[in-house]
Structure formats: C-alpha cells, structure tokens
A and B are shown apart, each in its own frame.
Chain A
Amino acid sequence: MSKDWPLWEVFIRSKHGLSHKHVGSIHATDAEMAMNNARDVYTRRNEGASIWVVPSAQIVSSAPGDKEMLFDPSNDKVYRHPTFYEVPSDVENM
C-alpha cells in the first residue's frame, strides 16, 4: 500500500477584482503538480483567473471552541456600526 501524497488546499480567483476563494483540495507531490492538478480539477469551465495552492498542513485555523473568545468581543461594540449614530434627517450626504 502506498502512502497519500501531501494534501494541498486550492483557492481560485474567479474574476479580476475578486478575492481568491477556497474551492477544495487536491493531492500532489510538489507545488508544480499541485498547480497542474488544481487547474485540471477546479477550472475545467473557465472558472479561474488565478490559482493559489497551499499545503494543507501549513494552514492555521481557529477552533470552533474558540468561537466565543475570538468573536464575541466584537459583538457588543455596536458603536462600530454607522447605524449607532443619530444624524438629523435634515443633514444630507452622510
């Protein structure tokens, strides 16, 4: 039995002006093969203007258990949103 080739995550920029978006993963022995495989698997219909491939092992991700610690602090800061402020309706262009 062979061993799995390293896993790479694939990100595609579908159009100029948009960010890259995660689309899935592929296996490849090196970066060049990862790029070729990503092209074959994820851009068969002109979906891509640019591809990033990143070794999956290199991705650091937040844990679901840390959700409160990470994201709750911004939850109660309503003053970061424009709707927090009252501007008289006579004032225009704001």
Chain B
Amino acid sequence: MYSQFVDTGAQGKSTGQDASEQERAFQARIDEGISIEPKDWMPEKYRKTLVRQISQHAHSEIVGMLPEGNWITRAPSLRRKLILLAKVQDEAGHGLYLYSAAETLGASRDELLDALHEGRAKYSSIFNYPTLTWADIGAIGWLVDGAAIMNQVPLCRCSYGPYARAMVRVCKEESFHQRQGYELLLEMVNGTDDQKAMAQDALNRWWWPSLMMFGPADGDSIHTQQSMAWKIKRHTNDELRQRFIDQTVPQAHYLGLEIPDPDLRWNEETGHYDIGEINWDEFWNVVNGNGPCNRERLAARRKAYEDGAWVREAAQAYADKQQQRRAAA
C-alpha cells in the first residue's frame, strides 16, 4: 500500500496456455516457495512490475519524511525531538534499502529519482495530507506506520529475495514508529481538554486517508491477481484493510477517542468491524495529483535534490582528483 497501484502490464494473470515453458517453470518455482534472486531468469513483466512496486515503496519512504520533518524543530520536548529525528532518519534508511533492492533488478537510482521528481512515479497518497498539529505526528506513527506494518509484514515472504530481505529490516525497525505515535497520543488524551481535542481532531483527519492507503477496493484492483500469483502481493487490499480496522478500533477506544465513522459497527456474524463508505473520489483525486499537498511535496523533493547538486558534484570531483593522483603516483 506504500505502492498502491502497481501496473503488472496485464489484467488478471497470465499462467495459461500462452505462457512459455520458461514462464511456467518460473511460476512453478514461485509456487514451490523458492525465492527469485537477481541473476535468475524472470519474465520481463515480473521485473518491470517489481521495479515499479519497489520504487513506489521507496519513494513513499522518502516523501514520507516531509510531513514529519515539518515538526522536528517544533517538537515539544527534547525526548520527543530525539524520537522524531530517529524516526525520520529511519524512513530515509528504508527508502535506501528499497532503492538498493530495485537496483538489483537493473534499475538506475538516478532514473528512479528522476521519475519521482518529474511526477512520472507514484508514492503513497497518504503523504499528500498536511501535518497541522503536533497530534498529527502521533496519528501518523499510530495509523500510517500501523497500516504500513500491516502491509509490509506479509511482504517479508514475497517471492523476490532482495525485496523480502529489505522488508525484514524495515519491519524490525518500524515497530518503534507505531509505538512512539501511540504513546504520544496517549499522553495527549491524558492531558488538558485542549490536548485531548487536538488528538481527536488528528484522528478525524487521518482515519480515512489511512484506510485509503490499502489501495482501491478489490473489485477495482485489476492487477491484484497477477501480483498474488507472483507472490509480490500476499493479501488483497480489502483483506489487509479489514485487518487494520479490526486491530485499530479497540486501540482508539483505549485512547478514549472516537473513530470518525457513524456507520462503524461490530458485526457479530462476521467477527469484524463494518465501516461506512470510503470516499473513493477523494482517493483518486489525491492519487491523480490533486490532494492537499501533492504539489508542495514534489516541489520540496525537487528543491532538496537541486540544492544538493553541488555537494554531489563536489564529492565526485574530489573522488576523481584523488584517483588521478593515485594513478600518477
């Protein structure tokens, strides 16, 4: 869901008669649970889909630093500032693990970044919402990182080795992200009335966008089938979304906060929570570049990249000079 709409180049899945012998052998290997490694033969569509998925995931980690970075200088205590700094630094690290995994498929780091900066690549819709108050930092950790973990844990068993291994590292680190967010909100709901109201307001604004992180409903998710056959997606969007809801609603109750959904009901029969209608118009609007912060996020990324150009050039020039000196000596 950090990669919400990965085009597999095919609707449905192709394992039928038209598959070549090589493709069938490849699928058989995946069905057996043998992981695919960079030098192994793979169908071109598998490679392309993975590059798209892993790079969307990486871009999400990188762009995801922006909403939180916004609050580093305004954290209310040194403890909170240290935690937030460490978390944002982790997100950068996660982006780098993922770019590194994408590069094992022959992608170039610079090309992936260019695609992001030119608006050709997607990243998770969630990061196009603004962080208006300090409580938003808590809501992001609790909900956004919670949703991310829900998605990433199954990916630790995905078919592509380098991606799976990157996910293992990410998941190990991510759990503190969610807990620090929940702890932050717990402190606020036990504070003044204003602080509690601020926490409720954050939940009101982040709840629905967090549910949208899991991507379109299964009926509208045309690439799910192929991705599941390839085991680069292990559960459908709706399955993961439901798990997230079931896990999160009681956590909200513990905080004494109300989920902003009048239709939310516990369903005795299914053993799950039923929710109201997700505003899919809003989702597609954000995905297509018209969320509250899409332009601002991309502009911030571009500026950071351009402002760093002289550093990259200087480092390269220094390395070249040192190499020439060694060659001459």
Give residues in A with beta carbon < 8 Å to B. 1-5, 7, 23-27, 29-30, 33, 40-41, 44-45, 61, 63-64
Write out the residue numbers on chain B whose beta carbons fall within 8 Å of the beta carbon of A44: 86, 89-90, 93, 173
Contact between B39 and A41, CB atoms less than 8 A apart: no
A24: contacting residue among B166, B315, B323, CB under 8 A: B166
Contact between B39 and A5, CB atoms less than 8 A apart: no
B39: contacting residue among A24, A33, A40, A63, CB under 8 A: A63
Contact between A24 and B110, CB atoms less than 8 A apart: no
Inter-chain CB contacts under 8 Å: number: 54
Contact between B103 and A7, CB atoms less than 8 A apart: yes
Contact between A29 and B319, CB atoms less than 8 A apart: yes
Q: Is the interface of B mostly helix, strand, loop or mixed?
A: helix
Give complex CA distance A3, B114 in Å: 11
Give complex CA distance A81, B110 in Å: 49
Give complex CA distance A2, B313 in Å: 9
Write out the residue numbers on chain B whose beta carbons fall within 8 Å of the beta carbon of A25: 100, 103-104
Q: Tell me the nearest residue of chain A to B305, going by C-beta.
A: A2
B288: CB under 8 A from chain A?
A: no
Nearest Cβ in chain A — how far from B327, in angstroms? Answer: 14
Give residues in B with beta carbon < 8 Å to A. 37, 39-41, 86, 89-90, 93, 96-97, 100-101, 103-104, 108-110, 114, 162, 165-166, 169, 173, 309, 312-313, 315-316, 318-319, 322-323
Write out the residue numbers on chain B whose beta carbons fall within 8 Å of the beta carbon of A64: 37, 39-41
Contact between A30 and B110, CB atoms less than 8 A apart: no
Nearest Cβ in chain B — how far from A1, in angstroms? Answer: 6
14 A-B contact pairs sorted by A residue (CB < 8 Å): A1-B110, A4-B109, A25-B104, A26-B96, A30-B318, A33-B315, A33-B319, A41-B93, A41-B96, A41-B97, A44-B93, A61-B39, A64-B37, A64-B40
Write out the residue numbers on chain B whose beta carbons fall within 8 Å of the beta carbon of A33: 315, 319
Nearest Cβ in chain A — how far from B326, in angstroms? Answer: 11
Contact between A29 and B96, CB atoms less than 8 A apart: no
For B89, B90, B96, B313, which residue has the most chain A Cβ atoms within 10 angstroms? Answer: B96
Other CB < 8 Å A-B pairs besides A4-B108, A5-B312, A29-B318, 8 of them? A4-B109, A24-B101, A29-B315, A30-B322, A40-B93, A41-B93, A44-B90, A44-B173
Write out the residue numbers on chain A whose beta carbons fall within 8 Å of the beta carbon of B89: 44
Question: Sorted from nearest, which 4 A-B pairs have the closest CB atoms?
Answer: A29-B319, A30-B319, A25-B100, A29-B315
Write out the residue numbers on chain A whose beta carbons fall within 8 Å of the beta carbon of B90: 44
Q: Tell me the nearest residue of chain B to A9, going by C-beta.
A: B100
B100: contacting residue among A26, A29, A30, A61, CB under 8 A: A26
Write out the residue numbers on chain B whose beta carbons fall within 8 Å of the beta carbon of A2: 110, 309, 312-313
Contact between A5 and B166, CB atoms less than 8 A apart: no
Give complex CA distance A4, B102 in Å: 14
